[in-house]
Structure 1
Amino acid sequence: MTGRGFRSVRAIFLRFFGTYITVKEIEVRNTYIAVIHRILQFVVATYIFLYIVWIKKGYQDVQEPYGSSISKVKGIARVSISNSNFNDDNVKQSLWDAADYLIPPIENNAFFIATRKTVTYKQTVGTCASAMSEKLFCNSTQNPCEKGLPAPNSLGVLTGNCVPVKKNMKKKVCEINAWCPEELTDSM
């Protein structure tokens, strides 16, 4: 390498390490400050690469998620629990609505669909005539009360029977398996 080439490499080297530019683009021509600046940059880059990436394997770190799930439930569920596989007399039936099978989550990282029993006075689970407002009218020739289907506008399951209304014995409505007497009826 000639003397001239060596001087140009040296000048580029000193220019790179001897000066630096700040955000306001002020050129500092103090070699001492520029060298300290480059050493600090090198130390930070070395720390990130060697310690965080290579030794600690920071690129492989994962964080466990924390959260809860809440599901909005509407409608009813009819549950039949049999004590014996052969005897139909031992069947216990329960009717659950949304308030019975949903409670808020009680801890993180969990999904709950829990059940609880709530006593409602003046109502019992059983069979009763559906409310007149639901318009589930029937007669001996036309019976839309198909057994086992959920009642369209109520929280009950159709039993398949056509029964007279307590207020007006001439009118007949579908019988439902639900909390009886139904809410919003005069029978409560």
Structure 2
Amino acid sequence: MGQAGCKGFFQSAFDYKTEKYVIAKNKKVGLLYRLLQLTILLYLVVWVFVIKKGYQDMDTSLQSAVVTKVKGVAYTNTSELGERLWDVADYVIPPQGDNVFFVITNLIVTANQRQSTCAEREGIPDGMCSQDHDCRAGEPVIAGNGVKTGRCLLAGNSTVGTCEIFAWCPVETQSRPKKPLLRDAEDFTIFIKNYIRFPKFNFSKANVLEAKNKDFLKSCRFGPNNHYCPIFRLGSVVQWAGSNFQDIASEGGVIGVHIEWNCDLDKAASECHPRYYFNRLDNKHGKSVSSGYNFRFARYYRDSAGVEFRNLMKAYGIRIHVIVNGKAGKFSIIPTIINVGSGVALMGAGAFFCDLVLIYIIKKREFYRDKKYEEVRGREYAARGAEAEAETEEMEQGQTAEEQPEGERREEEPQAPPQSSSWKENGGVCGKLPRSSRTGVLKNAKVNVQQLQTLQTVGT
């Protein structure tokens, strides 16, 4: 028994099992199925392959280098600095070109500061006092400009004054010019040179047009029809970012210059072009005490006596961030097979949805469910069922025979077979007959035997 089971299991391993398909003649479900197939096919062809280029292998590990330069001059005449000409060495920080740089457009200058004692600037809470013990010597002024000396300086008959501090005196001026100091910065030009490389495909390119004319970059300007001239007017960059130049030049701000490379390497390399986007990165809509962008720096000098002094400058301006991103794609059989397989799997999902509609939602769902699912029992259950049906049939035949009259039952009983040697072998046949039939046969056999004995007696 165990060997037979193992043999059957081994043979079943080489069986091929296929599905049984039921064709449902239902126009509504059929139309729904075709619509689902068409939708999935359009998604696969239009979105996956045409728009997303699902047949390509993608490289998003972009390697990039950015070099920047700013050019332009501006003239100012102020009481603090007098007449002055500003060039790139004065207003660009840091001086070496990088992907992040700052262009000064406005200044608050505190000239000729020296280290000495003076009054703290008004408006600083920790620097206010009414008596000397309010100014503890040696304590720095929180959010102030120096260290307290222990004296409280009162102006006139005022009861509230400021602490005396040891600092760079005079302290910083807070009056910001109403108009930007470098109003001519709007016409400054920015040169942005970008090199990119996609290592997976060993593809490199730059955003500068390869031209033999060296004067090309001196005269060209970036525009909608000239994407390979990476020279941008500063005022235009601010405008493309959605801001007003005079506002951002007065308070400062942060501008993002985005360079995007989306290259289809199935085409020629000349078809791979950079695209530029500009936006304001800081919060331009909300007005707060920290709006804009500024920082401080100083320039130090010594007089003839060797005393050190400095000019403190609080600079407002435009901070430029050059952000580069992109991807490259090239045909590959592996993503093509994967996306086609995904589409075929989605087709199966459409059939599954239609099955749910067919056997659970529509009115004739019971009929279709009976046709789709067939109940099959095992061999043991089938044998038991056959025995039960046979016993039921015998009982019904026995009851029918008992209910019939004796005369009719005799007519239905089979005639006795002739006496021969084969009669003894018919016991197996009788055994196979129903119980009522076997009783009739035995009675007829007894009658025939009695008749034969009577004839033999008369003959003797």
Scaled by the length of structure 1, what TM-score is found? Answer: 0.30
Structure ranking higher in helix proportion = 2
Larger radius of gyration: 2
Q: More relative contact order in 1 or in 2 (CA 8 Å, sep 6+)? A: 2
